[in-house]
Amino acid sequence: MSDTTYQEDRAFFRRALETTVRIGVIALLVLWCFEVVRPFIQPALWGIILAIALQPAYVRIRAAMGGRSAPAAASLVLAILLVLIVPSVMLTTSLVETATDLAAELQGGGLDIPPPPASVADWPIVGDQVHAFWATASRSLATALAQIETQLKEVGLWLLGAMASTGIGIVMFALSVVIAGVLLSYGDQAAEAARGIARRLALERGDELVDLTASTVQSVTRGILGVALIQSIAAGVGMLAAGVPGAGLWALGVLLLAVVQIPTLLLLGPVAVYVFYTSSTVVAVAFLVWALVVGASDNVLKPMLLGRGTDTPMLVIFMGAIGGFILNGIIGLFVGAVVLAVSYTLFTAWLADAPGEADEPAAPSTPTAPTGG
């Protein structure tokens, strides 16, 4: 091996080692930064979604305040936090009071259960078991509960976990609202940064994709998530007024059903039956009418809030909401639905832009010899 070849190989290995070290250091820094900001990724993502969804309202508030960005963003954030905190406190208080009263009645033996009707035994498959358990509970509730002690513990642990997850979700949502307010106050800079990143990724189509993403987020948020929140809050207020135990959990169930596009009457119907059995006729009829209004409200609210609408199939929204809820709890319910809807829209736009036959260059035509006349 000549000295020149040796020097070239040595220089090559030196450059390769330096490049490997640099890439390793950069990868380590990126991983380290990711671990530092990972707790904030979820609320930051939701804050971006909220900022995009609230942009039209923010623009109107800013115009009413003479173009002042910071006061407009602060006012919007304060209003959202009040709308979030007040119903949450009311529903949580109702749930705690209901659980406390139920525990006191169980301990004091003041909870009387009437004997089951004879027709219960004729129910298919489970009639005999339900009738026997119901009859035992009517004679001695403690004996009946002792038979399902293991199941009650599992349900209790699940409820505690669900309540803790819901509380954490509310706190993270409040943090996301604050992040959204900061982004709105610096809206022009944030929009330009998003367009700059999109141009680096998609070149000349960057601005188009940013506009497409913003319109999809606003459409999905207003038309699906917004309607679901309105229905859940309205249902919770109605159940509080009717004295339904555990109104907070029932309202959460209405929220889940509304987001995944399942009729909320599937849950409000049994609650209405319970109100008929436990309350006066006037209260029961009023709650039934209210439940019907809440259940049918999405047919009126969606055309109003959805605007121009979205072409995202309901299956995509269903998968995003359920998958996000399983992955990240209550806040993932919203983030999953929006992220999957935006991804679907961007993917379909990319497919629609695929080159076809019309984009292929035409073959050069062969010149024909002029004919004599």
Q: Which domain holds residue 284?
A: 215-351
Q: Does the residue 120 lie in any domain?
A: no
Rounded Cα distance between 284 and 274, Å, is 9
Asked if 182 contacts 43 with a C-beta cutoff of 8 angstroms, the reply is no
Q: Is the pTM of this model over 0.85?
A: no
| Residue 169 CB neighbours (<10 A) | 19
* pLDDT recorded at residue 31: 92
Asked if 302 contacts 226 with a C-beta cutoff of 8 angstroms, the reply is no
Q: Does the residue 328 lie in any domain?
A: yes
Q: Does the residue 273 lie in any domain?
A: yes
- In 3-state terms the chain splits into helix, strand, coil percentages (rounded to 5) of 85, 0, 15
Q: Does the residue 170 lie in any domain?
A: no
Structural domains of the chain, count: 1
Q: Does the residue 49 lie in any domain?
A: no
Q: Does the residue 107 lie in any domain?
A: no
* pLDDT recorded at residue 373: 42
* pLDDT recorded at residue 334: 66
* pLDDT recorded at residue 105: 63
Q: What is the mean pLDDT of each run of 10 residues along the chain (373 residues)?
A: 71 85 92 87 81 83 85 86 71 67 63 73 78 78 72 73 69 82 82 82 73 73 78 88 80 81 85 85 89 86 62 72 73 72 78 61 51 46
* pLDDT recorded at residue 47: 84
Q: Does the residue 230 lie in any domain?
A: yes
Which two tokens mark 156? 């209790």
Q: Does the residue 310 lie in any domain?
A: yes
